[in-house]
Structure 1
Amino acid sequence: MRIYPAIDIKHGACVRLTQGLADQETEYFNDPLEPARLFKAAGSEWVHVVDLDGAFDGKPSNLAVVEGIAALGLKVEFGGGIRELADAEALLAAGVSRIVVGTRACKDHAFVEELVRRWPEQLAIGIDAREGKVAVRGWVEVTDMPAISFACKLAEAGVQRIIYTDISTDGMMVGPNFEGQEEMLSAVPIQIIASGGVSDLHDLVVYSEMARKFDNLDGVIVGKALYEKKFTVKEALDVAARA
């Protein structure tokens, strides 16, 4: 089970949003490279980067920051505004190890198939859900599409990995929606990265136990709990290693 420390970028700073709401923002670092250096020093191999400006505007806009993070030697999983093949190509050329596509993947199945054809190993589809329904455009628009139905459709298209985020718990520090994550793990055979709501080390222990039951639990994204110093990256990695 991998740990993916999260860095969310908005207007050049490292921030966290509560339930994805643009007006519920807390800034933690003026320079996103600072937490990236700390995560690497603690032993993290990966970092999960979200371009919030890109997610809201529809095009990635923090490429220079991403290049800087990748140059530190971290594997970068990047999402936020990737809605054209050219955007994906530019990010991969900048050193991104894995691209995360959400909004357009929900609306354009042919686009998903082309992404799978070009970059099967470097692709993850982000499924963000509120009450089990897919949300898009930086979580501001909730569709009628059930998240599990969408995941099954992606699996049929050959997608190898999804990131499943429960919006209602994200940034709330109330614990993950374990039931929802387990339903998703049971529904599709592809790799799943769980996201949303991790508030303490016990949550990661629960996920580590879940990883023993489901071999398709790739890892867990951790954000606000790290910034609020509920535990360290090293402690999280130690829990994950025991899984």
Structure 2
Amino acid sequence: MIIYPTLEILDGKCVSLTRGRIDEPLLWHVDPVERAKSFAAAGAEWMHLTDINGLKGEDTNAALCEEIIRSAGIPVQFGGGFRTHDQVANWIDKGAGRIVIGTMGTREPDLLRRLAKLYPDQIVLAVDIFEGYIMTDGWRSRSSFTPESYVTAFDDAPLAGVIVTDIDADIADRDASLGVISGLAAQTRHPVIARGTVRGIDDVARLKYVKNISGTLIGRALLARDVDLGEVLAMAAAAPEPVADFQ
């Protein structure tokens, strides 16, 4: 299972958001570039980066995000409100290992499919769920799509994966969130990356036993030092113990 140490950037600073509330960010006093480098030093294979200003249609963090991508020393999975072919192509040209797409999938699904074919295994679909529906525009607008119909609609696209976030539960209710994520993981052929389920190393151990979950994003727990990245990486790399097959 792949651990994606995660940074969220708002107005040039590292933050964490609770249930997507941009007006109530938790600010971390760390250098984003140096923190990204520390992920590689600890042995991470990938990192995840979200430009929160980009989700709002602003490009104020563009230079910083480019510096992080170029300096991290590991591939960066990058999300930030990408709505056009040119935006995606531009950031792949700048070195982003993967591009995370959310709103585009609900409004221009054919464009998303074309991008996935043009950049196979570099496009990741964000599936953000609130009260049983897919959210768009940085978790601010509710679509008419159910998570189940949404993920299966893109089963024919060569996506790198699907990031599933249960906004209802977020960090506060890991069991409910894991239930939603594992349910969707059983309905798509794409590898699923869980978000919002890890507060401690035991949560990583639980995720390893869920079929079709290939990784997890960890942001707040790392920044708060609730988990040690080296320990989490070792846990994720260890072979899971056998599980009895009950009839």
User: What's the CA shift for 1:144?
Assistant: 2.4
Q: Which moved more, 1:70-79 or 1:44-53?
A: 70-79
Residue aligning to 1:200:
200
User: What's the CA shift for 1:124?
Assistant: 0.5
How many residues align? The count is 237
Residue aligning to 1:236:
232
Q: What are the residue-to-residue correspondences of 1:131-142 with 2, within 5 Å?
A: 131-142=131-142
CA RMSD across the alignment: 1.6
User: CA offsets per residue over residues 5-42 of structure 1, 9 Å max, x none?
Assistant: 11001101111111110112011135311221221221
Residue 67 of structure 1 pairs with residue 66 of structure 2: yes
Q: Which amino acid aligns with 1:70?
A: I
TM-score if structure 1 supplies the norm length? Answer: 0.92
User: What's the CA shift for 1:63?
Assistant: 2.8
Give 1 or 2: higher strand fraction: 1
User: CA offsets per residue over residues 208-234 of structure 1, 9 Å max, x none?
Assistant: 122xxx2x3220011111111111111
Structure 2 Cα separation of the partners of residues 132 and 160 of structure 1: 24
Q: Which amino acid aligns with 1:204?
A: V
Residue aligning to 1:95:
95
User: What's the CA shift for 1:121?
Assistant: 1.4
Residues 158 and 45 of structure 1: CA distance in aligned 2, closer, same or farther (over 3 Å): closer
SS at structure 2 position matched to 1:121: coil
Structure 1 Cα separation of the partners of residues 35 and 105 of structure 2: 30
Residue aligning to 1:227:
223
Q: What are the residue-to-residue correspondences of 1:73-92 with 2, within 5 Å?
A: 73-92=73-92
User: CA offsets per residue over residues 159-204 of structure 1, 9 Å max, x none?
Assistant: 342111111233x354251111111111111111111131111111
Instruction: Give the unaligned 5+ runs of structure 2.
Output: 241-247
User: What's the CA shift for 1:125?
Assistant: 0.8
Residue aligning to 1:106:
106
Q: Which amino acid aligns with 1:227?
A: L
Structure 2 Cα separation of the partners of residues 231 and 66 of structure 1: 25
Structure 1 Cα separation of the partners of residues 37 and 142 of structure 2: 35
Task: Decide whether the 8 Å contact of 1:79 with 1:101 is kept in 2.
Answer: yes
Residues 112 and 200 of structure 1: CA distance in aligned 2, closer, same or farther (over 3 Å): same
Residues 226 and 6 of structure 1: CA distance in aligned 2, closer, same or farther (over 3 Å): same
> Identity of counterpart residues, as a percentage?
30
Q: Which moved more, 1:131-140 or 1:174-183?
A: 174-183
Larger radius of gyration: 2
Task: Decide whether the 8 Å contact of 1:66 with 1:94 is kept in 2.
Answer: no
Residue aligning to 1:24:
24
Structure 1 Cα separation of the partners of residues 38 and 168 of structure 2: 28
SS at structure 1 position matched to 2:129: strand
Q: What are the residue-to-residue correspondences of 1:69-218 with 2, within 5 Å?
A: 69-72=68-71, 73-170=73-170, 172-175=171-174, 177-210=177-210, 214=211, 216-218=212-214
SS at structure 2 position matched to 1:155: coil
User: What's the CA shift for 1:158?
Assistant: 4.1
Q: Which amino acid aligns with 2:63?
A: A
Task: Decide whether the 8 Å contact of 2:122 with 2:159 is kept in 1.
Answer: no
Instruction: Give the unaligned 5+ runs of structure 1.
Output: none
User: What's the CA shift for 1:128?
Assistant: 0.6
Task: Decide whether the 8 Å contact of 2:76 with 2:96 is kept in 1.
Answer: yes
Structure 2 Cα separation of the partners of residues 174 and 190 of structure 1: 25
Q: Which amino acid aligns with 1:133?
A: Y
